[in-house]
């Protein structure tokens, strides 16, 4: 299919709330395939549609370890329905905030409900890395970035760095 450009901070589309998907049609299936191609090309382990400029509630991920066959997962209209009381702190990065990694505290386990590409309703219990990636990617659907969990000082430093880079590159955020 196609590798799409990944939006980078401070692009304002990263702060928009994505719309629910009403129907799984050829356009949505093409978007899912393009998102997987983009994620693998980056390389990354998760990608949300707003990161490629499409304000739809769809996320792709693949948590297969290096050397394992790909295990692509497409989540349409995903929703976290339960979070654990236990939390974990893990280092996160983001394709839309390249080359920066910070420790973020999140619930250790979640229950997620979504529709797959075949239109089937799925409920999954997620813990560990799977739970973290789900939370990170679903945040994108609501215009939330992982840096929003950092202290104001750290977050402001990241924003200033990317705003400065944008000015010097001549790149224009949408």
**Domain count along the chain:** 1
Query: In this structure, is residue 6 part of a structural domain?
Result: no
Residue 3 included in any domain = no
In a domain, 68, yes or no: yes
Residues 6+ apart with CB under 8 A from 162: 8, 9, 10, 97
Please name the helix (run of DSSP H) or strand (run of DSSP E) that holds residue 28, with its range, or none.
helix 26-41
Is 146 part of any domain?
yes
pLDDT digits (tens, 9 = 90+) for 80-94: 999 999 999 999 999
Q: pTM surpassing 0.85? A: yes
Residue 57 lies in a domain: yes
Would you name the residues annotated as active-site residues?
137
DSSP 89-103: EEEEEETTEEEEEEE
CATH (domain of 82)? 3.90.45.10
- Is position 56 within any domain? yes
Residue 174 falls inside a structural domain: no
User: What is the residue-averaged pLDDT of the chain?
Assistant: 94
Each residue of 102-138: pLDDT tens digit? 999 999 999 999 999 999 999 999 999 999 999 999 9
Q: Measuring CA to CA, how many Å separate 165 from each of 10, 69, 93, 168? A: 10, 37, 18, 5
Examine residue 4 and state whether it is found in any structural domain, yes or no.
no
Structure tokens at 86: 């236990």
- Domain of residue 86, residue span: 12-169
């Amino acid at each position: 299919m196609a590798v799409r450009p990944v939006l980078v901070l401070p692009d304002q589309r990263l702060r928009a709330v994505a719309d629910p998907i009403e129907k799984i049609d050829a356009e949505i299936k093409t978007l899912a395939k393009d998102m997987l191609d983009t994620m693998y090309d980056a390389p990354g382990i998760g990608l949300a549609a707003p990161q490629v400029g499409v304000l739809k509630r769809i996320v792709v991920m693949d948590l297969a370890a290096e050397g394992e066959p790909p295990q692509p997962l497409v989540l349409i209209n995903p929703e976290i329905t339960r979070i654990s009381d236990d939390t974990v702190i893990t280092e996160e990065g983001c394709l839309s905030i390249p080359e920066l990694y910070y420790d973020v505290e999140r619930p250790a386990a979640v229950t997620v409900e979504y529709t797959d590409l075949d239109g089937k309703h799925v409920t999954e219990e997620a813990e560990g890395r799977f739970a973290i990636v789900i939370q990170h990617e679903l945040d994108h659907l609501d215009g939330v970035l992982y840096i929003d969990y950092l202290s104001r000082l750290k977050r402001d430093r990241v924003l200033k760095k990317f705003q400065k880079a944008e000015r010097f590159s001549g790149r224009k955020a949408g």
